[in-house]
């Protein structure tokens, strides 16, 4: 079945550091891939998405590229800020599935 694997957290970085949060998936067909962000005490917000191979999703300085050959959708940002501290979830949705398949989430802590 479909599955998503994220790197375990917490990930602790200094402000202005480069960020990578790894996400790999297992799926049949051509899934859509998503990154969501959850700030403390809040619900989840869509950060970016990609719907086909080689698509790059981007938002708020974050980027992720849909790599079918490596079944990956790694999240990157060139220079993180304290305000980026949050939990980041990678998710997958298949063409014929009502559900999103979620990674376990990665907590990101940015220190000034």
d(C-alpha 84, C-alpha 78), whole Å = 12
Tokens of 13: 């970085």
Within residues 18-37, the interface with other proteins by CB under 8 A covers 30-32, 34, 36
Candidate ranges 18-26, 61-69, 75-83, 94-102; the one touching other proteins (CB under 8 A): 94-102
Q: How far is the CB of 90 from other proteins (least distance, A)?
A: 10
What secondary structure letter does DSSP report for 69?
A: T
Q: Is 3 in the site for other proteins (CB under 8 A)?
A: no
- Sorted by sequence, the CB contacts under 8 Å of residue 93 that are 6+ apart come out as 31, 32, 34, 99, 100, 101
- Sorted by sequence, the CB contacts under 8 Å of residue 14 that are 6+ apart come out as 110, 111, 112
The only residue of 75, 89, 108, 110 in contact with other proteins, by rule CB under 8 A: 89
d(C-alpha 71, C-alpha 67), whole Å = 6
Q: Which is nearer to other proteins, 79 or 99 (CB)?
A: 99
| Per-residue interface string for the shown chain with other proteins, residues 59-88, x marking contact by CB under 8 A | ------------------------------
d(C-alpha 52, C-alpha 32), whole Å = 7
Catalog residues that contact other proteins under the rule CB under 8 A.
Answer: 30-32, 34, 36, 41-46, 49, 51, 89, 93-100, 102-105, 107
């Amino acid at each position: 079945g479909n599955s998503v694997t994220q790197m375990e957290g917490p990930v602790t970085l200094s402000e202005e550091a480069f960020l990578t949060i790894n996400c790999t998936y297992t799926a049949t067909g051509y899934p859509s891939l998503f990154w969501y962000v959850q700030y403390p005490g809040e619900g989840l917000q869509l950060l970016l998405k990609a719907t086909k191979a080689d698509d790059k999703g981007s938002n708020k300085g974050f980027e992720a590229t849909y790599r079918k050959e490596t079944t990956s959708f790694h999240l990157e940002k060139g220079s993180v800020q304290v305000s980026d501290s949050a939990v980041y979830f990678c998710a997958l949705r298949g063409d014929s599935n009502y559900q999103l398949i979620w990674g376990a989430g990665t907590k990101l802590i940015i220190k000034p």
